């Protein structure tokens, strides 16, 4: 499983909208480490996001990790593994949107 581990800064100069055609990610990996005992990998780098050739995001010192054998069957429901997740009795925002869409579509 991949995990975002933080960054030193993000600049937002635009957004990705439904009418945009091409999103391009440019990532400069500055440091990479592999922990052989666990199979985990950590990368640190700077990144840029372009939408239709216009730069919209810049990330400085973004940290990401890949970890083996991490899977949560209850995701995104709040649990010991998903602090901040949805409480078990709540619908996700996506579920609410889909219900509204189906109702408006006559389903």
pLDDT given for residue 100 in this prediction: 66
Domain co-membership, 52 together with 88: no
DSSP state of 107: -
Count of structural domains within the chain: 2
Q: Give per-residue pLDDT as tens, 50-105.
A: 999 999 999 999 999 988 877 767 666 667 666 655 555 555 655 666 666 666 65
User: Which residue shows structure tokens 């440091």?
Assistant: 31
CATH of the domain at 63: 3.10.129.10
Say if residue 48's pLDDT is above 90.
Answer: yes
Q: In Å, how far are 35, 63, 70 from 86, measured between CA atoms?
A: 32, 25, 19
Residue 102 has phi, psi (to 5 degrees) of -65, -40
Domain region containing 11: 1-69
- pTM for this one? 0.60
Q: What is the mean pLDDT of residues 18-36?
A: 94
Q: What is the pLDDT of residue 57?
A: 98
Q: Are residues 62 and 95 in the same domain?
A: no
User: Rounded to whole angstroms, how far apart are CA atoms 56 and 23?
Assistant: 10
pLDDT for residue 95: 63
78 and 39, same structural domain? no
Q: What is the 3-state secondary structure (H, E, C) of 51-74?
A: ECCEEEEEEEEEEEEECCCCCCCC
Looking at the fold, whether 45 and 83 belong to one and the same domain comes out as no
CA dihedral 51, 62, 42, 84 (to 10 degrees): -90
pLDDT, residue 70, reads 73
The pLDDT-based confidence of 8 (bands split at 50, 70, 90) is very high
């Amino acid at each position: 499983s991949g995990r975002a581990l933080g960054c030193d800064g993000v600049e937002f100069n635009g957004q990705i909208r439904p009418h945009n055609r091409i999103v391009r990610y440019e990532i400069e990996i500055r440091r990479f480490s592999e922990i052989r005992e666990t199979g985990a990998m950590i990368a640190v780098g700077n990144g840029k996001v372009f939408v239709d050739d216009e730069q919209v995001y810049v990330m400085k010192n973004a940290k990401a990790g890949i970890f083996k054998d991490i899977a949560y069957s209850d995701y995104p429901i709040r649990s010991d593994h998903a602090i901040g997740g949805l409480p078990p009795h709540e619908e996700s925002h996506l579920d609410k949107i889909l219900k509204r869409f189906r109702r408006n579509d006559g389903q």
